[in-house]
């Protein structure tokens, strides 16, 4: 099954994607992780996106679409994909549909992690202290939240019209969120 984990930054998409990968064998495709790996490797692409990412802004659609296209091509035999942090704009959602039409299976579910945006600031302050991710600083995080509400949340009606969205309580503990996601994926 192909699914999208949807929700604001720091909602827990990465954590839950990793659990689903372990439990179901689906391949996680996180554009954030791919971009961070590009930066770590010191590639031209990594250098190009570094400042944009640290500011909390979105990198250009063509860059992330190309990353997803490559990852799909490299994982042709996957039983499913978990899209995490992608799509984030209408152009990305349209490109994803076109790519999946070529690769076989469409998106079946969009799991929305419902969270209290105010509490995310506390979560991310903790992560900033622990991991020191440059874009977790309060100023960049505010930009990321604003981008989410301006550019990404508007994708929801697109998937709602297709009957694919299932909301889960993202403020519960990690185990309970995982259980709700599983139920949302298994329910017809």
Spatial contact of 11 and 115, defined as CB atoms under 8 Å apart: yes
Q: Is 29 in the site for ligand ADP (CB under 6 A)?
A: no
- Active-site annotation holder among 88, 109, 123, 147: 88
The nearest distance, CB 88 to ligand ADP, in angstroms, is 4
Q: Is 56 in the site for ligand ADP (CB under 6 A)?
A: yes
The Cα 62–Cα 59 span in angstroms is 9
Q: Is 83 in the site for ligand ADP (CB under 6 A)?
A: no
Q: Is 16 in the site for ligand ADP (CB under 6 A)?
A: no
The Cα 52–Cα 129 span in angstroms is 21
Whether 166 sits among the annotated catalytic residues: the reply is no
Of 128-147, binders to ligand ADP (CB under 6 A) are 135, 144
Enter the tokens of residue 45: 């692409």
Q: What share of the chain is helix, strand, coil (3-state, %, to 5)?
A: 60, 15, 25
CA 58 from chain center: how many Å? 13
**Torsion (CA) 137, 142, 144, 150 in degrees, nearest 10:** 180
DSSP 3-state assignment of 142? helix
- Active-site annotation holder among 18, 48, 127, 166: 127
Closest-by-Cβ residue to ligand ADP is 32
Q: Is 85 in the site for ligand ADP (CB under 6 A)?
A: yes
Q: Is 9 in the site for ligand ADP (CB under 6 A)?
A: yes
CA 6 from chain center: how many Å? 6
Q: Is 170 in the site for ligand ADP (CB under 6 A)?
A: no
Q: Is 53 in the site for ligand ADP (CB under 6 A)?
A: yes
The residues binding ligand ADP (CB under 6 A) are: 9-10, 13, 31-32, 35, 52-53, 56-59, 64, 85-86, 88, 92, 135, 144
- Residues annotated as part of the active site: 13, 88, 127, 133, 144
């Amino acid at each position: 099954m192909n699914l999208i984990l949807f929700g604001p930054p720091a909602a827990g998409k990465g954590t839950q994607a990793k659990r689903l990968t372990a439990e179901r064998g689906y391949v996680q495709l996180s554009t954030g992780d791919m971009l961070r790996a590009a930066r770590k490797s010191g590639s031209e692409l990594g250098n190009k996106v570094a400042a944009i990412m640290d500011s909390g802004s979105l990198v250009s659609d063509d860059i992330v679409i190309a990353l997803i296209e490559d990852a799909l091509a490299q994982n042709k035999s996957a039983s499913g994909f978990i899209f995490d942090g992608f799509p984030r704009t209408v152009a990305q959602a349209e490109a994803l549909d076109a790519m999946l039409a070529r690769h076989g299976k469409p998106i079946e579910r969009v799991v929305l992690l419902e969270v209290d945006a105010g509490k995310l600031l506390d979560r991310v302050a903790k992560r900033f202290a622990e991991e020191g991710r440059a874009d977790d600083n309060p100023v960049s995080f505010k930009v990321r939240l604003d981008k989410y509400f301006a550019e990404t949340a508007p994708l929801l009606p697109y998937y709602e019209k297709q009957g694919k969205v299932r909301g889960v309580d993202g403020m519960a503990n990690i185990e309970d969120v995982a259980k709700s996601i599983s139920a949302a994926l298994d329910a017809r």
